[in-house]
Copies of this chain bind each other. A is one copy, B any other.
Amino acid sequence: MAANVQDVIMLFGDSITQAGWAEDAFGARLANVYSRKLDVLNRGLSGYTTDWAIPVLEQCLATQQAQQHLPKVRLFVVWFGANDACIKPSPQHVPLPKFIENIKYMANLVQSAESAYYSPSTKIILITPPPINTHQRAADLASRDPPLALDRLFETTRQYAEGVKEAAAALKVAVVDVWTALWNAAGENEEALSRYMSDGLHLNPAGYTIVYEALIKAIAVEYPELHYENLQHVFPLWSDVDWTNPGPSVQKREA
Protein backbone atom coordinates (compact mmCIF):
# COMPACT_ATOMS: atom_id res chain seq x y z
CA MET A 1 0.00 0.00 0.00
CA ALA A 2 1.15 3.52 -0.74
CA ALA A 3 1.49 5.66 2.34
CA ASN A 4 0.37 9.27 2.40
CA VAL A 5 3.71 10.84 1.47
CA GLN A 6 3.16 13.68 -0.97
CA ASP A 7 0.23 16.05 -1.24
CA VAL A 8 -1.32 16.35 -4.67
CA ILE A 9 -2.37 18.49 -7.59
CA MET A 10 -5.60 17.03 -8.95
CA LEU A 11 -6.35 17.69 -12.63
CA PHE A 12 -10.08 17.13 -13.10
CA GLY A 13 -11.57 17.42 -16.56
CA ASP A 14 -12.51 15.71 -19.81
CA SER A 15 -10.44 14.08 -22.57
CA ILE A 16 -8.22 17.14 -22.88
CA THR A 17 -7.15 16.54 -19.28
CA GLN A 18 -7.01 12.75 -19.69
CA ALA A 19 -4.58 13.14 -22.61
CA GLY A 20 -2.39 15.43 -20.52
CA TRP A 21 0.25 12.72 -20.04
CA ALA A 22 0.80 12.22 -23.78
CA GLU A 23 3.97 13.51 -25.41
CA ASP A 24 4.92 16.93 -24.01
CA ALA A 25 1.44 17.45 -22.58
CA PHE A 26 0.72 19.54 -19.51
CA GLY A 27 0.12 16.84 -16.90
CA ALA A 28 3.38 15.04 -17.54
CA ARG A 29 5.26 18.35 -17.52
CA LEU A 30 3.68 19.33 -14.22
CA ALA A 31 4.55 15.94 -12.74
CA ASN A 32 8.15 16.46 -13.87
CA VAL A 33 8.66 19.88 -12.30
CA TYR A 34 6.77 18.87 -9.13
CA SER A 35 8.70 15.61 -8.68
CA ARG A 36 9.54 14.93 -5.01
CA LYS A 37 7.14 17.75 -4.07
CA LEU A 38 3.55 17.06 -5.14
CA ASP A 39 2.00 14.11 -6.98
CA VAL A 40 -0.04 15.14 -10.02
CA LEU A 41 -3.18 13.02 -10.38
CA ASN A 42 -4.85 12.49 -13.75
CA ARG A 43 -8.58 12.63 -13.15
CA GLY A 44 -9.49 13.27 -16.78
CA LEU A 45 -12.60 11.55 -18.14
CA SER A 46 -12.87 11.43 -21.91
CA GLY A 47 -16.28 12.44 -23.19
CA TYR A 48 -17.66 13.44 -19.79
CA THR A 49 -19.71 16.55 -19.23
CA THR A 50 -20.00 18.38 -15.91
CA ASP A 51 -23.36 16.65 -15.31
CA TRP A 52 -21.69 13.23 -15.41
CA ALA A 53 -18.46 14.32 -13.74
CA ILE A 54 -20.05 15.63 -10.54
CA PRO A 55 -20.91 12.16 -9.17
CA VAL A 56 -17.34 11.09 -10.07
CA LEU A 57 -15.86 14.08 -8.28
CA GLU A 58 -17.79 13.20 -5.15
CA GLN A 59 -15.82 9.94 -5.19
CA CYS A 60 -12.46 11.57 -5.99
CA LEU A 61 -12.53 14.02 -3.09
CA ALA A 62 -12.14 12.73 0.44
CA THR A 63 -14.84 13.42 2.99
CA GLN A 64 -13.79 15.43 6.03
CA GLN A 65 -13.92 12.23 8.07
CA ALA A 66 -11.48 10.45 5.71
CA GLN A 67 -9.15 13.39 5.14
CA GLN A 68 -6.83 12.64 8.07
CA HIS A 69 -5.57 9.51 6.33
CA LEU A 70 -5.19 10.89 2.82
CA PRO A 71 -3.03 13.30 0.86
CA LYS A 72 -4.17 16.91 0.78
CA VAL A 73 -5.27 18.35 -2.54
CA ARG A 74 -3.12 21.48 -2.52
CA LEU A 75 -4.29 22.51 -5.99
CA PHE A 76 -7.54 21.48 -7.67
CA VAL A 77 -7.68 22.24 -11.40
CA VAL A 78 -11.09 22.03 -13.09
CA TRP A 79 -11.20 22.01 -16.89
CA PHE A 80 -14.54 21.35 -18.58
CA GLY A 81 -16.65 22.87 -21.30
CA ALA A 82 -15.42 21.14 -24.44
CA ASN A 83 -18.20 18.51 -24.19
CA ASP A 84 -20.85 20.52 -22.37
CA ALA A 85 -20.76 22.93 -25.34
CA CYS A 86 -21.85 20.24 -27.81
CA ILE A 87 -24.93 21.39 -29.68
CA LYS A 88 -28.29 19.64 -29.51
CA PRO A 89 -29.27 16.84 -30.04
CA SER A 90 -25.93 15.57 -28.66
CA PRO A 91 -26.39 13.75 -25.34
CA GLN A 92 -23.32 15.68 -24.20
CA HIS A 93 -25.08 19.05 -24.46
CA VAL A 94 -25.41 20.81 -21.11
CA PRO A 95 -27.18 24.20 -21.28
CA LEU A 96 -24.85 27.09 -20.52
CA PRO A 97 -26.54 28.21 -17.26
CA LYS A 98 -26.45 24.61 -15.98
CA PHE A 99 -22.78 24.30 -17.01
CA ILE A 100 -21.89 27.44 -15.02
CA GLU A 101 -23.90 26.14 -12.06
CA ASN A 102 -22.08 22.78 -12.26
CA ILE A 103 -18.65 24.42 -12.28
CA LYS A 104 -19.61 26.42 -9.21
CA TYR A 105 -20.95 23.26 -7.57
CA MET A 106 -17.59 21.51 -8.10
CA ALA A 107 -15.67 24.39 -6.54
CA ASN A 108 -18.13 24.65 -3.67
CA LEU A 109 -17.56 21.00 -2.82
CA VAL A 110 -14.15 22.02 -1.48
CA GLN A 111 -14.82 25.69 -0.66
CA SER A 112 -18.06 25.53 1.27
CA ALA A 113 -17.90 24.95 5.02
CA GLU A 114 -21.20 23.06 4.70
CA SER A 115 -19.74 20.55 2.24
CA ALA A 116 -18.84 17.00 3.30
CA TYR A 117 -15.65 17.53 1.26
CA TYR A 118 -14.74 20.93 2.73
CA SER A 119 -11.02 21.54 2.40
CA PRO A 120 -10.16 25.17 3.12
CA SER A 121 -6.47 24.77 2.30
CA THR A 122 -7.18 23.64 -1.28
CA LYS A 123 -6.54 26.28 -3.96
CA ILE A 124 -8.64 26.16 -7.13
CA ILE A 125 -7.89 27.01 -10.75
CA LEU A 126 -10.55 26.88 -13.47
CA ILE A 127 -9.49 26.49 -17.09
CA THR A 128 -11.57 27.60 -20.06
CA PRO A 129 -12.16 25.14 -22.92
CA PRO A 130 -10.03 25.63 -26.06
CA PRO A 131 -11.66 27.26 -29.07
CA ILE A 132 -13.16 24.96 -31.69
CA ASN A 133 -11.58 24.94 -35.12
CA THR A 134 -14.74 24.03 -36.99
CA HIS A 135 -12.86 23.56 -40.29
CA GLN A 136 -10.60 20.91 -38.74
CA ARG A 137 -13.38 19.38 -36.63
CA ALA A 138 -15.84 19.15 -39.54
CA ALA A 139 -13.21 17.49 -41.74
CA ASP A 140 -12.38 14.98 -39.01
CA LEU A 141 -16.03 14.07 -38.45
CA ALA A 142 -16.75 13.88 -42.20
CA SER A 143 -13.89 11.40 -42.61
CA ARG A 144 -15.44 8.88 -40.22
CA ASP A 145 -17.45 5.86 -41.28
CA PRO A 146 -20.29 6.71 -41.26
CA PRO A 147 -19.58 10.44 -41.62
CA LEU A 148 -20.75 12.60 -38.72
CA ALA A 149 -22.16 16.12 -38.74
CA LEU A 150 -20.45 19.01 -36.97
CA ASP A 151 -21.24 18.75 -33.25
CA ARG A 152 -19.60 21.87 -31.83
CA LEU A 153 -19.62 25.50 -32.97
CA PHE A 154 -16.96 28.15 -32.58
CA GLU A 155 -19.28 30.74 -31.06
CA THR A 156 -21.00 28.32 -28.68
CA THR A 157 -17.74 27.11 -27.15
CA ARG A 158 -16.61 30.74 -26.85
CA GLN A 159 -19.66 31.38 -24.70
CA TYR A 160 -18.85 28.39 -22.46
CA ALA A 161 -15.32 29.76 -22.06
CA GLU A 162 -16.86 33.07 -20.97
CA GLY A 163 -19.04 31.08 -18.58
CA VAL A 164 -15.97 29.60 -16.90
CA LYS A 165 -14.55 33.09 -16.40
CA GLU A 166 -17.89 34.21 -14.96
CA ALA A 167 -17.84 31.27 -12.53
CA ALA A 168 -14.25 32.01 -11.49
CA ALA A 169 -15.09 35.63 -10.78
CA ALA A 170 -18.11 34.64 -8.70
CA LEU A 171 -16.07 32.03 -6.80
CA LYS A 172 -13.06 34.35 -6.39
CA VAL A 173 -10.68 31.67 -7.70
CA ALA A 174 -7.99 31.83 -10.37
CA VAL A 175 -8.79 31.17 -14.01
CA VAL A 176 -6.52 30.16 -16.88
CA ASP A 177 -8.11 31.42 -20.07
CA VAL A 178 -6.89 28.81 -22.52
CA TRP A 179 -9.55 29.83 -25.02
CA THR A 180 -8.11 33.33 -25.35
CA ALA A 181 -4.49 32.20 -25.14
CA LEU A 182 -4.95 29.85 -28.10
CA TRP A 183 -7.08 32.34 -30.02
CA ASN A 184 -4.42 35.00 -29.64
CA ALA A 185 -1.64 32.56 -30.53
CA ALA A 186 -3.53 31.75 -33.75
CA GLY A 187 -3.76 35.44 -34.63
CA GLU A 188 -7.54 35.34 -34.12
CA ASN A 189 -7.77 33.16 -37.23
CA GLU A 190 -9.87 30.03 -36.78
CA GLU A 191 -8.08 27.98 -39.43
CA ALA A 192 -4.71 28.86 -37.91
CA LEU A 193 -5.79 27.08 -34.72
CA SER A 194 -4.68 23.88 -36.47
CA ARG A 195 -1.15 24.80 -35.37
CA TYR A 196 -2.28 23.99 -31.80
CA MET A 197 -4.93 21.32 -32.30
CA SER A 198 -4.88 17.73 -33.50
CA ASP A 199 -8.47 17.59 -34.73
CA GLY A 200 -10.10 20.95 -34.08
CA LEU A 201 -11.18 19.87 -30.58
CA HIS A 202 -8.14 18.31 -28.88
CA LEU A 203 -4.68 19.85 -28.45
CA ASN A 204 -1.37 18.89 -29.98
CA PRO A 205 1.98 19.34 -28.17
CA ALA A 206 2.19 23.02 -29.23
CA GLY A 207 -1.28 23.60 -27.80
CA TYR A 208 -0.43 21.86 -24.53
CA THR A 209 2.71 23.98 -24.26
CA ILE A 210 0.53 27.10 -24.20
CA VAL A 211 -1.66 25.50 -21.53
CA TYR A 212 1.32 24.45 -19.41
CA GLU A 213 2.95 27.87 -19.56
CA ALA A 214 -0.31 29.68 -18.77
CA LEU A 215 -1.01 27.35 -15.85
CA ILE A 216 2.47 27.77 -14.36
CA LYS A 217 2.13 31.53 -14.75
CA ALA A 218 -1.25 31.49 -12.98
CA ILE A 219 0.25 29.49 -10.11
CA ALA A 220 3.15 31.94 -9.86
CA VAL A 221 0.86 34.97 -9.79
CA GLU A 222 -2.19 33.71 -7.88
CA TYR A 223 -0.81 31.02 -5.60
CA PRO A 224 2.97 31.61 -5.47
CA GLU A 225 3.30 29.44 -2.36
CA LEU A 226 2.40 26.49 -4.62
CA HIS A 227 4.88 27.27 -7.40
CA TYR A 228 7.30 24.34 -7.64
CA GLU A 229 10.28 26.60 -7.05
CA ASN A 230 8.79 27.64 -3.72
CA LEU A 231 8.24 24.10 -2.42
CA GLN A 232 10.91 22.00 -0.76
CA HIS A 233 11.57 18.34 -1.53
CA VAL A 234 9.57 16.04 0.75
CA PHE A 235 12.72 13.97 1.28
CA PRO A 236 16.04 15.88 1.42
CA LEU A 237 18.59 16.18 -1.34
CA TRP A 238 21.19 13.43 -1.18
CA SER A 239 23.88 15.94 -0.23
CA ASP A 240 21.85 16.66 2.94
CA VAL A 241 21.55 13.02 4.00
CA ASP A 242 23.54 12.03 7.08
CA TRP A 243 25.60 9.31 5.43
CA THR A 244 26.59 7.61 8.66
CA ASN A 245 23.06 7.46 10.14
CA PRO A 246 20.62 8.19 7.31
CA GLY A 247 17.29 7.40 9.04
CA PRO A 248 16.74 10.53 11.14
CA SER A 249 17.96 12.79 8.31
CA VAL A 250 15.46 11.52 5.72
CA GLN A 251 12.19 12.04 7.56
CA LYS A 252 9.48 13.36 5.28
CA ARG A 253 8.58 17.04 5.43
CA GLU A 254 5.65 18.98 4.00
CA ALA A 255 6.64 20.17 0.55
- Report whether A42 and B52 are in contact in the complex, using a CB–CB cutoff of 8 Å: no
Stretch at the interface among A124-132, A139-147, A157-165, A247-255: A247-255
**Smallest CB–CB gap between A254 and chain B, Å?**
13
Q: Quick one: which of A1-57 are within 8 Å of B by CB?
A: 1-5, 8, 10, 18, 21-24, 27-28, 31-32, 35-36, 39, 41-48, 51-52, 54-56
CB pair B36 A39 closer than 8 Å: no
Q: Is the CB of A246 within 8 A of B39?
A: no
CA distance A92 to B239 in the complex (A): 10
Q: Please determine whether A1 and B61 come into contact, CB atoms closer than 8 angstroms.
A: yes
Tell whether A70 is near chain B: CB-to-CB under 8 Å.
Answer: yes
A62 within 8 A of B: yes
Residue from the set A10, A21, A251 with the largest chain B CB neighbour count within 10 Å = A21
Q: Does A91 contact B (CB under 8 A)?
A: yes
User: What are the 9 A-B residue pairs with the smallest beta carbon separation, nearest first?
Assistant: A47-B238, A1-B62, A69-B69, A28-B28, A1-B67, A21-B32, A55-B247, A3-B62, A52-B246
Q: List the interface of chain A (C-beta within 8 A of B).
A: 1-5, 8, 10, 18, 21-24, 27-28, 31-32, 35-36, 39, 41-48, 51-52, 54-56, 59-63, 66-67, 69-73, 91-92, 117, 119, 122, 235, 237-239, 241, 243, 246-247, 250-252
